[in-house]
Amino acid sequence: RVLAGRREDLAGRHVVVSAGGTREAIDPVRFIGNRSSGLQGYALARTAVARGAEVTLVAANVTLPDPAGAKVVRVESARQLRDAVLAAAEHADAVVMAAAVADFRPVRQSDTKIKKSSAEPDPIHLVKNPDILAELGEVRRARLEAYAAGAAAAGGGRETGEGLAAAKEAGADGPRPRVIVGFAAETDDVLANGRAKLERKGCDLLVVNQVGENLAFGTPDNAAVVLTAEGGSVEIPRGPKEDLADVVWDLVAQRLA
């Protein structure tokens, strides 16, 4: 399926893909989870390997076989996913957050299995998880500012060690990750919600999935609209998750070129 012109267009690039759905422990045997299968993230990892990229796949509770040629890091919770993604993103050209990250986790995890008693159960109190996609955008923005400040200081003849370090870290191509891609599943006001989400999270591309009609969760097919930070949109008709993945990598490759 990979077109001739695409074959090696990600050669020399390091990309990070998150896949699956996080689990937030209630006690040693129970968790709060979601319906993400990991199929879309795994399709993204496979197609990136096929196009020549070095791929780190951060997989949350996925039962699919490891894609050949990708480095797979297995995690369970949102906080573990965050640590793995941020570490891999340090040297990444692109990060694609296809994982379904739990927005909340129980405040406390019981060390022992919660038992029934004659009384009604205690409520489960929740706290917010870190927003990994937003954090990636913030890390990059901070690096860009440090780089600009360093460059300005250097330009003014006050070359600081800090400025040099920032410039070195940013590299010739700008701060990493150079391209940040989010996914979103919306049910109403799909495009308006997607646009607001892209801006809120500071990502470059947001893949807005259509939910329902046997699409998305656990199915081989997907349909989506990709919104770009510049205000554009690219429609991806219903088709295999591999095809959607290839369109995402086309857009990423364009931005990296």
Q: Which stretch binds Ca ion (CB under 5 A): 44-52, 71-79, 95-103, 223-231?
A: 95-103
Binding ligand CTP (rule: CB under 6 A), the pick from 131, 159, 169, 250 is 131
The verdict on 186 binding Ca ion (CB under 5 A) reads: no
Q: Which tokens sit at 151? A: 């460059």
List the catalytic residue out of 34, 193, 209, 214: 34
Rounded to a whole number of angstroms, the minimum distance from the CB of residue 99 to ligand CTP is 5
129 is in the binding site of which of ligand CTP, Ca ion, none (Cβ under 5 to 8 A by kind)? ligand CTP
214 tagged catalytic: no
The verdict on 131 binding Ca ion (CB under 5 A) reads: no
- E strands within the chain? 14-20, 24-27, 30-32, 54-60, 70-75, 94-97, 104-106, 126-128, 179-186, 205-210, 221-228, 233-240
The answer to whether the CB of 145 falls within 8 A of the CB of 135 is no
Binding Ca ion (rule: CB under 5 A), the pick from 66, 76, 83, 103 is 103
The verdict on 183 binding ligand CTP (CB under 6 A) reads: yes
Rounded to a whole number of angstroms, the minimum distance from the CB of residue 187 to Ca ion is 12
Rounded to a whole number of angstroms, the minimum distance from the CB of residue 101 to ligand CTP is 4
**Which C-beta is closer to Ca ion: that of 103 or that of 221?**
103
The answer to whether the CB of 219 falls within 8 A of the CB of 232 is no
Binding ligand CTP (rule: CB under 6 A), the pick from 62, 75, 92, 97 is 97
Apex 216 CA angle, 211 and 220, nearest 5? 150
Rounded to a whole number of angstroms, the minimum distance from the CB of residue 82 to Ca ion is 14
**94-97/104-106 β-pairing:** unpaired
The verdict on 133 binding ligand CTP (CB under 6 A) reads: yes
Q: Which residues ranging from 196 to 225 are in contact with ligand CTP (CB under 6 A)?
A: 197
Q: How far apart are CA 133 and CA 117, in angstroms?
A: 41
132 is in the binding site of which of Ca ion, ligand CTP, none (Cβ under 5 to 8 A by kind)? ligand CTP
- A 10 A CB-CB count for 163 gives 20
CA atoms within 13 A on the CB side of 162: 10
The residue length of the chain stands at 257
Per DSSP, the three-state class of 110 is coil
The verdict on 184 binding ligand CTP (CB under 6 A) reads: yes
Q: How far apart are CA 233 and CA 225, in angstroms?
A: 7
Positions annotated as catalytic residues are 34
Residues in touch with ligand CTP (CB under 6 A): 78, 97, 99, 101, 103, 129, 131-133, 182-184, 197
